Chain A
Amino acid sequence: MSKSVVIVGASMGGLRAAEALRNNGFDGQIAVIGEEVHAPYNRPPLSKEVLAKEVTHEAVAFKLRAQVEDVIWNLGDPATSVDLEKQVVTTASGKTFEYDGLVIASGLRPRVLDLPNGKVSGRHTVRTLDDAIGLRAALVPGAQVVVAGAGFIGCEVAATARGLGCAVTNVAIDSYPMIRPLGELLAAELQRRHESKGVNFRLQRGIKDLTGTDSLSGVILDDGDFLEATVLVEAISSHCNVEWLANTNLDISNGVLTDSALRAVTTEGQSVDGVYVVGDLARFANPLFDDEARRIEHWNIPTETGKRVGAALSAYLAEADHFAELAAQTFTPLPTFWSDQYEMKIQGFGMPGLADRYELVDGELSDELVMAYFRNDVLIGVVGIGMTAEVMKYRKQLLGT
């Protein structure tokens, strides 16, 4: 009897894993289980231009290639548990899916603030298409928008909301927007640019409570200040969707720990044959940097991990001779990120957040620029605003080519 694979997570990573399984010759059944009702779609536009225009699934959906036409999509019905011994996944509606190979791609969900008066309407997150559709409708000219969180997504939403004519205040515990990945010099400059576009910042501040009876009327900060607000966007951090793995012995202390083949690892440090992890949840060591296992929440990681898992899992299921060789290969994806804010095109490679030193290596701080990031005098990241050709030279160095 032919073997079957269950992929939990109908996201980009789940889709790329399914394609890679087929591209590597796996011809058994593939079932994809997803919480959302939508087929896989591309998320980066959600906080950017899709928010500024009309939001539809068609505009962001991935084209389904011929090789995944026969995949079974179980959408709007998330996985709720798995039995790794019996090799079966159970969903919210009570369906069961037996597997020979399991791909864990259930991703993240936004963390929201736990507030005494938290039940008012007007609170938004930016993760799913439905989130973006809801937020798009709220970002009307003159709306008073508070964005909680000054990471890339919070800053993109702030920029988009300004472009739509909203009044925007960004509240964050950080000392500067995007400081953790970018460092103080560039972060302070980006704050200045946001302020020149009319964004107000309340930094090193938290949100203590909300006002309003049915709908939001304002935000109370932890220093007692009050901001009038009709819209609150929470872009603070994420939770890992690992609750469905709670009854397993996998190490789910932060995402799901994996070995270099992206096989899930137990709390005892044992790799589990046939169980793989893709995307934001995969916590793996990247020899490009060091031997510490980390989750990487960048857009290119679902694709890179999906392709590796597809190759390894198909070889495992075929009991192919090259499986051991494949599994032993080092996995060194270069973290890659982009952010569009106003006319700025920010792109980064590597792990600039790990740097102990950074240096402006090209351009001008107030204009287009390239910033290089070093740890122990070794280049570990590069971030550019514009200057694509110059940024690419440092990308090559990061890859050691």
Chain B
Amino acid sequence: MITIDVDMDKCQHYGQCVFEAPDIFKLNDNDKLEFVATADDSRRSDVESAVDVCPMQAISIVE
């Protein structure tokens, strides 16, 4: 399993991560980010892509 962390002080809810891993990140009805904190190892590549596309660099994989 991988553990995902989003620094909510940095997150601006731009939702770019949603395009890369929609099963893990979503914007709720108020346009605020929600995410699942753990994922299967097979999701690592898409989660890394989500990390890459976050303009605030708020997402990290906890190693």
Contacts and interface: CB of A to CB of B under 8 A. Distances in A.
Interface of A: 16, 42, 44-45, 60, 62-63, 65, 299-300, 303, 336, 338, 340, 345, 347, 386-389, 392
Contacts of B55: 42, 44, 299-300, 338
Given A63-B60, A303-B53, A386-B31, 18 more contacts: A42-B55, A42-B57, A45-B56, A60-B57, A62-B57, A299-B55, A300-B53, A300-B55, A303-B52, A338-B14, A338-B55, A340-B12, A347-B14, A388-B15, A388-B27, A388-B31, A389-B27, A392-B15
B15 to A, nearest CB: 6
A347 B56 CA distance: 13
A299 B54 CA distance: 10
Contacts, number: 35
Interface string B1-45: 000000000001111100000000001000100000000000000
A387 B30 CA distance: 9
A392 B14 CA distance: 10
A338 B48 CA distance: 21
Contact of B16 (A42, A336, A340, A386): A336
B25 to A, nearest CB: 13
A392 B16 CA distance: 10
Q: For the complex, would chain B's binding face be called helix, strand, loop or mixed by DSSP majority?
A: loop
Contacts of A42: 55-57
A11 to B, nearest CB: 14
Q: For the complex, would chain A's binding face be called helix, strand, loop or mixed by DSSP majority?
A: mixed
B52 A388 contact: no
Nearest to A392: B15
B60 to A, nearest CB: 7
A221 B36 CA distance: 54
A353 B60 CA distance: 34
B31 A389 contact: yes
Given A16-B52, A303-B52, A388 B57 contact: no
A62 B16 CA distance: 17
Question: 7 tightest CB-CB pairs across the interface, nearest first?
Answer: A388-B31, A42-B57, A338-B55, A303-B52, A44-B55, A299-B55, A388-B15
Contacts of A347: 14
B47 to A, nearest CB: 12
24 contacts: A16-B52, A42-B55, A42-B56, A42-B57, A44-B55, A44-B56, A45-B56, A63-B60, A300-B53, A300-B55, A303-B52, A303-B53, A336-B16, A338-B12, A338-B55, A340-B12, A345-B13, A345-B14, A386-B31, A388-B13, A388-B15, A388-B27, A388-B31, A389-B27
A345 B31 CA distance: 12
Contacts of A345: 12-14
Contacts of A340: 12
A149 B13 CA distance: 28
Contacts of A62: 57
A282 B60 CA distance: 28
Contacts of A299: 55
Contacts of B48: 65
Nearest to B28: A389
B32 to A, nearest CB: 9
A299 B14 CA distance: 13
